[in-house]
């Protein structure tokens, strides 16, 4: 039995959940999400508690059990609280500003880089070096944050670039000159 899959998911007061054959719909104060579940698991809703059961004991059944429960729990948390990923920009002259739903980044290239917010994602800019990615879909928030980070990932010699908040970048030593040569 999956340790994560067997845990029940409690539905908060302001959230409504509907379970059709292979489709789970969650509606809350922040929005609405839906997720198709694999046919090897069964999702049921009883008295405000969602439980996930697997229909067999093979490897695909066991794999889908915990995954489905986590996806449903993330949907419920997303429509009630939302998700946020924060990014930091480090480097001389590197900065960000927000124009509508677009981020304009200056990252040391010969041109400014622009990033448009996809549907369901909003950006918040704190100062000129901090970006917050907000949304209700955890997968989409993580994907957008990863795409922004990939515009200029932190480099290992000076640490310049875009990194997740709290991310530690291990720095490498630079080139060592020959000793004794003048």
Fold of 83-164: Outer Surface Protein A; domain 3 (3.90.930)
Q: How confident is the model at residue 176 (pLDDT cuts 50, 70, 90)?
A: confident
C-beta separation of 31 from 56 below 8 A? no
- Using DSSP, state whether 115 is helix, strand or coil: strand
* Residue 100 scores a pLDDT above 70: yes
pLDDT (mean) for 25-37 = 94
pLDDT surpassing 90 at residue 178: no
Task: Categorize the per-residue pLDDT at 163 as very low, low, confident or very high, splitting at 50, 70 and 90.
Answer: very high
Alpha carbons 114 and 148: distance in angstroms, whole number: 10
pTM for the full model? 0.88
Percent of the chain with pLDDT over 90: 85
- Delimit the domains of the chain by residue range: 9-80, 83-164
* pLDDT digits 0-9 by tens, 107-157: 999 999 999 999 999 999 999 999 999 999 999 999 999 999 999 999 999
Q: How many CA atoms lie within 13 A of 148 on its CB side?
A: 34
Q: Which two tokens stand for residue 78?
A: 């997303």
- Residue 70: which of 139, 15, 23, 16 has the closest Cα? 139
Q: Using the structure block, give the residue that is written with the tokens 């292979």.
A: 22
Mean pLDDT value across residues 70-79: 95
Query: Rounded to whole angstroms, how far apart are CA atoms 135 and 85?
Result: 9
89 has which bridge partners? Answer: 162
Asked: is 9-80 a CATH 1.10.260.40 domain? The reply is: no
Question: How much is the average pLDDT of 19-48?
Answer: 92
Domains 9-80 and 83-164 share a fold: yes
Query: 3-state SS of 38-87?
Result: CCCEEEEEECCEEEEEECCCCHHHHHHHHHHHHHHHHHHHHHHCCEEEEE
């Amino acid at each position: 039995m999956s340790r994560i899959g067997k845990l029940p998911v409690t539905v908060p007061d302001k959230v409504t959940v509907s379970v059709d054959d292979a489709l789970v719909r969650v509606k809350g104060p922040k929005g609405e999400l839906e997720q198709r579940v694999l046919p090897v698991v069964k999702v049921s809703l009883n008295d405000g508690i969602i439980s996930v059961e697997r229909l067999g004991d093979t490897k695909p059944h066991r794999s889908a059990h915990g995954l489905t429960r986590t996806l449903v729990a993330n949907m419920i948390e997303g429509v009630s609280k939302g998700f946020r990923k924060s990014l930091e920009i480090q480097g001389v002259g590197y900065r960000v500003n927000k124009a509508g739903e677009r981020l304009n980044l200056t990252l040391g290239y010969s041109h400014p880089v622009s990033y448009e917010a996809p549907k369901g994602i909003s950006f918040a800019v704190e100062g000129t070096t901090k970006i917050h990615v907000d949304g209700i879909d955890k997968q989409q928030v993580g994907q957008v944050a990863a795409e922004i980070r990939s515009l200029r990932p932190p480099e290992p010699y000076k640490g310049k670039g875009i990194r997740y908040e709290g991310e530690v970048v291990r720095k490498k030593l630079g080139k060592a000159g020959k000793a004794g040569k003048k």
